[in-house]
Amino acid sequence: MAAESTLETTEPKAEGGLEQTRDGRYYRPNVDILELAEELLLLADMPGVKPGEIDIRFEDGELTIHGRAAARQKPETNYLLMEYGVGDFYRTFRVSEQIDASKIHAEYSDGVLRLHLPKVEAVKPRKIEVKVN
Amino acid sequence: MVRYHIGAVPQLGRFRNEMDRLLSDFLGRSAGLAEIDETSRGFPAVNIWQQENEVFVEAEVPGLKSEDVEISVVGNALSLKGRRPDVPPEKATFHRRERGVGEFNRVLRLPVEVDSEKVQAKLTDGVLLVTLPKAEAAKPRRIKVAAQ
C-alpha cells in the first residue's frame, strides 16, 4: 500500500475565506510532491502566471498557493478550439509533516513553481556516528 | 511505448467545466480541426483562434524551455513536438505525481493553409504562442460589386 500522504489536499474553502478572482473561477494546478531527506518539494504547473503574481501562505499546517493569471486574449475572442481556460490557480494542502515555516522558500520559472518546505530538525533523519575508542 | 502519462487521463487534476469541453469538442469538429494523431491527444492542451490574416495556436507547456519544443508546419498541419523534463528523483518519495513527463508529439490540422515561412513562436512563463500567417490564397478577399 502507498505511504500515507504527507500533504493532503483540502477542498477549496467556501466564499468566505477565499479571495474572489476576477470571474470567480480558478484552476487547480497539477502538482508533484516529493519527499527528500531534508525537505518536502512541491512542484506546481502554473502556466501563464508572472513571477511576481504568486502568493504562498503557510498557517496552522495549511499551505495555500495562489497564482494570478490575467486573461491573455480579449473576452470576445471566438475560439475555433478551446481546451483550457485562463485564470488564477489556487490550491490548498494540509501538511502533517513538521515544517520549519521560517525556512520555506520558492522559485518560479517557465510556468513551474518549486516550493521547498524544509523539515524541522527533529524529524530529519540523523546519522549517529559510533565512536571507536 | 507510451511514456506520456497525462494522455491516458486527460486533464487530470485540472478543474474544468465539462460543458466547455463538450462545446469545444463540438466546435473543434465543426471547424475541421480534427486531430491527426489520436495517440497524442491531450498534451499540450491548446486554444486556437483566428483573425483576418493569422491563425493563433496557444499551448500550455509548463516546465519547457524554448529548446525543448520543436514546431513544424507542413501544409495545414502544425506539429508540436518535445519532451517534458523528468524530475531527478535523488532518493525521493513521491507523495503526489500529477505532472506529466516524457515525450509528446501533437499534430493539429489548421482551418486554413498558412505561410509556413512566416510562422513565429514565442514561449513565456510556460505558455507557447504560435502565430501562423494565412497563405495569400486563404485570406479573405473583398469582392467589389460593380455598379451598373
Q: How far apart are CA B81 and CA B105, in angstroms?
A: 4
CB atoms within 10 A of CB A117: 24
- The domain spans of chain A are 7-72+79-121
In chain B, the residue whose alpha carbon lies closest to the alpha carbon of A88 is B15
Global pTM exceeds 0.80: no
Q: How far apart are CA A107 and CA A57, in angstroms?
A: 15
Out of A47, A79, A112, the one facing B49 most closely (by C-beta) is A79
- The domain spans of chain B are 37-86+100-138
Average of per-residue pLDDT across B100-122: 92
CATH code at A7-72+79-121: 2.60.40.790
- ipTM of the assembly? 0.77
Architecture of the domain whose range is B37-86+100-138: Sandwich (2.60)
Residue B3: pLDDT over 50: no
Residues B147 and B68: beta-carbon distance below 8 Å: no
CB atoms within 10 A of CB A2: 7
Taking only the tens place, the pLDDT of each residue in B6-38 is 333 444 334 444 444 444 454 444 344 445 444
Beta strands in chain B (DSSP E): 46-50, 54-60, 69-74, 77-84, 93-97, 102-109, 120-124, 127-133
Taking only the tens place, the pLDDT of each residue in A51-70 is 999 999 998 889 999 999 99
Instruction: Say yes or no for a CB contact (<8 Å) between A36 and B60.
Output: no
Taking only the tens of pLDDT, chain A with its 133 residues reads: 333 345 555 544 433 344 444 456 789 999 999 999 899 999 999 999 999 999 999 988 899 999 999 999 998 898 999 999 999 999 999 988 789 999 999 999 999 999 999 998 876 777 778 888 7
Instruction: Say yes or no for a CB contact (<8 Å) between B126 and A110.
Output: yes
Residue B56, min C-alpha distance to chain A (Å):
10
Is the minimum CB–CB distance between B97 and chain A shorter than 8 Å? yes
